[in-house]
């Protein structure tokens, strides 16, 4: 019979390293351990931002040319009877004047086509320069940092992209 203490491996520890002395034919079980690390994130409010808009008005004078057209209508009596088979006149232009024939059928013993009148339309145009004062509005965004206790600590002017402390 062998000594039970002699069959157990002899453990020794040196500077955090565990080792065992095992004789031939014996088995030794060494526990292996490993540490792991875990990182958690947590949102922490360090301040707030307040954004508002301000509307500014700018007076400007706009200039533009406006064109208007007028029409002068003159009725020219013709009272000419068209001969049988004559082609009725159509709308046409003469020297920048639009001529619109007005036809009328009248009842006589016989039916005749009579050119009653012509309507002459003359166009003219005029240019006029106008100036109209207008009010234009423009908005700016104002951003202020607000601390957790509710006090505005900084103002950011987005136009200059610089932070200023009031």
Q: Answer yes or no: is pLDDT of 63 > 80.
A: yes
Q: Answer yes or no: is pLDDT of 65 > 50.
A: yes
User: Greater confidence, 57 or 17?
Assistant: 57
Residue with tokens 């234009």: 136
Q: How confident is the model at residue 77 (pLDDT cuts 50, 70, 90)?
A: very high
Indicate the SS3 state at residue 12: strand
Q: Answer yes or no: is pLDDT of 3 > 80.
A: no
pLDDT tens per residue across span 111-142: 778 899 998 889 989 999 999 999 999 888 88
Provide, rounded to the nearest whole percent, the portion of the chain with pLDDT above 90.
Answer: 27
Q: What pLDDT score does 163 carry?
A: 45
Reported as type and span, the H/E element at residue 2 is none
Contact 44, 53 (CB under 8 A): no
Q: What Rg do the C-alpha atoms of the chain give, in angstroms?
A: 53
pLDDT tens per residue across span 79-109: 998 988 899 999 999 998 999 999 998 877 7
Strands (E), the chain: 10-14, 17-21, 48-82, 92-94, 97-107, 111-146, 152-157, 162-164
Contact 62, 129 (CB under 8 A): no
Contact 138, 56 (CB under 8 A): yes
Q: What pLDDT score does 166 carry?
A: 45
Distance CA 49, CA 156 (A): 10
Residue 69, C-beta contacts closer than 8 angstroms, at least 6 positions apart:
123, 124, 125
Q: How confident is the model at residue 59 (pLDDT cuts 50, 70, 90)?
A: very high
């Amino acid at each position: 019979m062998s000594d039970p203490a002699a069959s157990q491996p002899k453990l020794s520890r040196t500077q955090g390293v565990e080792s065992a002395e095992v004789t031939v034919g014996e088995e030794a079980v060494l526990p292996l351990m490993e540490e792991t690390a875990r990182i958690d994130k947590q949102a922490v409010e360090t301040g707030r931002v307040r954004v508002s808009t301000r509307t500014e008005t700018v007076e400007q004078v706009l200039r533009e040319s406006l064109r208007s057209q007028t029409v002068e209508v003159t009725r020219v009596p013709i009272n000419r009877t068209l001969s049988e088979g004559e082609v009725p006149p159509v709308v046409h232009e003469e020297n920048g004047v639009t001529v619109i024939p007005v036809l009328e059928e009248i009842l006589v013993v016989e039916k005749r086509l009579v050119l009653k009148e012509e309507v002459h339309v003359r166009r003219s145009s005029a240019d006029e320069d106008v100036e109209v004062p207008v009010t234009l509005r423009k908005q700016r965004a104002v951003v202020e940092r607000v601390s957790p206790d509710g006090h505005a600590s900084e103002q950011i002017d987005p136009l200059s992209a610089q932070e200023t402390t009031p």
